[in-house]
Amino acid sequence: MLSSKTPDRRTTLKVRHRGAILAAARGLIDERGGPYFTVDELADRADVSRRTVFNHFASLDEIVLTLCDEALEVIIDDFIATVVAMPAGDGSRSSMFDEISHSLTTADIPGAVESMARILGEPGSDASREQTLSARAFTRAADRLLDEVLRRNPTADVLDAELLVGSLMNGVIVVVGHWIREVGIRLDGTGRAAWQGLLGTLLSSVRSGYMPLS
Amino acid sequence: MLSSKTPDRRTTLKVRHRGAILAAARGLIDERGGPYFTVDELADRADVSRRTVFNHFASLDEIVLTLCDEALEVIIDDFIATVVAMPAGDGSRSSMFDEISHSLTTADIPGAVESMARILGEPGSDASREQTLSARAFTRAADRLLDEVLRRNPTADVLDAELLVGSLMNGVIVVVGHWIREVGIRLDGTGRAAWQGLLGTLLSSVRSGYMPLS
DNA sequence: TGCACTCAGTGCAAGGGTGCACTTAGTGTA
DNA sequence: TACACTAAGTGCACCCTTGCACTGAGTGCA
């Protein structure tokens, strides 16, 4: 079990260098409107060698994905915050649905999507890289949400939870696409109202298969 | 032969860490009035491990001496600046004497001594450590001055140069002692006048053995 | 005077950063 | 279409930092 002792300097430096690489990537992305930089530029900015970049991350895409993870962390954080304030569910499918849907409603998903859009930059001519990264980021967020749901509902059927989270997050990806095409990425009242409408549609659609047994 | 290419990151980091240790020592000395800190405190301040401190310096005393070296560097720098502006000597003893004495006269030795005093701190009850470090620092400065004198006068007799530099620098140590006892370490007009008087006495005293042959 | 403690300094092994030569993929141009 | 170039990513060896257990010196106290 992890002790609470101060990590040693090796661990501290490792975390620091990894953090410096992420901060450097964020900075370059902010300056350039997207991940338009080389490994050499990133390494320079982070004040590490280019080999070190690959010691910490498997690829440049992995770095971009990690930044997207951070953008989508709001969904996980909101779930955690939400369920803390709710009575414990009974592990049933409908109970889990209620927890997750409440969280998806209160989480600032439009804000997260806007952050991700800034990270990924203007889609290229065929946008395949951006779409691939975006999908992977949502998938990772879904995995982390699933972990939290199962932690919260240890008696739940794992397959049930996996299917539920999968269908909800896949639905989120779909309605995000609709939302962007319908109103663009707008964080004002109009944009948020449109988002809530689309999300409502998603949740109603998925809920119908999740009514409490009676 | 050394190329002019940019040093690699290994070299850069090594120099940076060594510099951080020296800067940390300077900071702690400034705050505490002398070298009154532990290796752990120095390492913390420099943001390196205590082992790393000893990778760069043989001992704490070595760090203090390096700071003293920097304080006394003014003597070497002044010699280099002085001889650049003077016609080349003929490598004779009197010519070397003129170069060195001119430099000792123009160099801010009182300032250097004051810096060293700040580095070494208030002498302890028997002051042996401070005196030892001070003497070692002057000795190292003499060695560096000798190197410059020989570089400047490649045809000079090495023993002659060594004896000359040795007697002058040993003389400087002696008159610094007198100066401190007579007026204290004062950088005002009175202190500087006293210093110039003592230095003049030293140079006249040593010069008598160095008249140009005629 | 003996003991316990602190601190400087050390040897050696482990970990992480770095250098460098390399392969591969993508791109632009003649 | 072939070639040259750039850039991402890789394997491996080297270097420097770090961890840690240790010794020895100095100090304070019972």
CA of A62 to C1' of C25 (A): 18
CA of A59 to C1' of C29 (A): 30
CA of B41 to C1' of D29 (A): 27
pLDDT tens string A41-86 = 999 999 999 999 999 999 999 999 999 999 999 888 988 888 888 7
What protein residues sit with their CB closer than 7 Å to strand D? A 8-10, 13, 37-40, 50-51, 54, 58-61; B 10-11, 13-14, 17-18, 48-49, 51-52, 55-56
Q: What is the pLDDT of residue A126?
A: 64
Domain boundaries, chain B: 9-56, 60-207
Protein-covered nucleotides on strand C (Cβ within 7 A): 7-12, 15-20
Q: What is the pLDDT of residue B5?
A: 62
Helices (H) and strands (E) in chain A, counts: 9, 0
CA of A60 to C1' of D11 (A): 19
Averaged pLDDT for residues A10-38: 96
More confident residue, B134 or A87: B134
Q: Three-state SS for B122?
A: coil
- Which amino acid is located at B184 in the chain? G
Instruction: Place A150 in a pLDDT band, splitting at 50, 70 and 90.
Output: very high
ipTM above 0.85, yes or no: no
Average pLDDT, rounded, for chain B? 89
CA of A11 to C1' of C13 (A): 17
DSSP calls for B174-195: HHHHHHHHHH-S--SHHHHHHH
Protein-covered nucleotides on strand D (Cβ within 7 A): 7-12, 15-20
Q: How far is CA A176 from CA A74, A75, A134, A136, in A?
A: 15, 14, 11, 15
Q: What is the pLDDT of residue B1?
A: 39
CA distance B26 to B121: 12
- Which amino acid is located at B30 in the chain? D
Q: Three-state SS for A93?
A: helix
Averaged pLDDT for residues A157-184: 91
CA distance A89 to A164: 15
- Asked if the Cβ of residue B36 lies within 7 A of any atom of strand C, the reply is no
- Asked if the Cβ of residue B10 lies within 7 A of any atom of strand C, the reply is yes
Q: What is the pLDDT of residue A32?
A: 93
Structure token digits, residue B56: 């760069």
CA of A168 to C1' of C13 (A): 51
Q: Does the structure show a pLDDT above 50 at A119?
A: yes
Residue B201 exposure: Cα atoms within 13 Å on the Cβ side: 12
- Asked if the Cβ of residue A48 lies within 7 A of any atom of strand C, the reply is yes
Which CATH number applies to A9-56: 1.10.3720.10, 3.40.50.300, 1.10.10.60, 1.10.3300.10? 1.10.10.60
More confident residue, B51 or A92: B51
Q: Does the structure show a pLDDT above 60 at A12?
A: yes
Contacts 24+ apart (CB under 8 A), B198-201: B199/B104, B199/B105, B199/B109, B199/B172, B199/B175, B201/B175
- Sign of the dihedral through C-alpha A25, B8, A10, B63: negative
CA of A17 to C1' of C17 (A): 10
| Most distant pair of Cα atoms in chain A: their distance | 63
CA of A182 to C1' of D7 (A): 38
- Asked if the Cβ of residue B49 lies within 7 A of any atom of strand C, the reply is no
Instruction: Place A199 in a pLDDT band, splitting at 50, 70 and 90.
Output: very high
Q: How far apart are the first and last CA of chain A?
A: 43
Q: Does the structure show a pLDDT above 90 at B128?
A: no
- Which amino acid is located at A4 in the chain? S
Q: Does the structure show a pLDDT above 70 at A2?
A: no
- Asked if the Cβ of residue A192 lies within 7 A of any atom of strand C, the reply is no
CA of A42 to C1' of C25 (A): 21
Nucleotide nearest to B9 (CA to C1'): C18
Average pLDDT, rounded, for chain A? 89
Q: What is the pLDDT of residue B135?
A: 87
- Asked if the Cβ of residue B51 lies within 7 A of any atom of strand C, the reply is yes
Q: What is the pLDDT of residue A213?
A: 66
Nucleotide nearest to A61 (CA to C1'): D8
CA of B128 to C1' of C3 (A): 29
pLDDT tens string B71-100 = 999 889 988 888 888 777 787 888 888 889
Instruction: Place B25 in a pLDDT band, splitting at 50, 70 and 90.
Output: very high
Instruction: Place A93 in a pLDDT band, splitting at 50, 70 and 90.
Output: confident
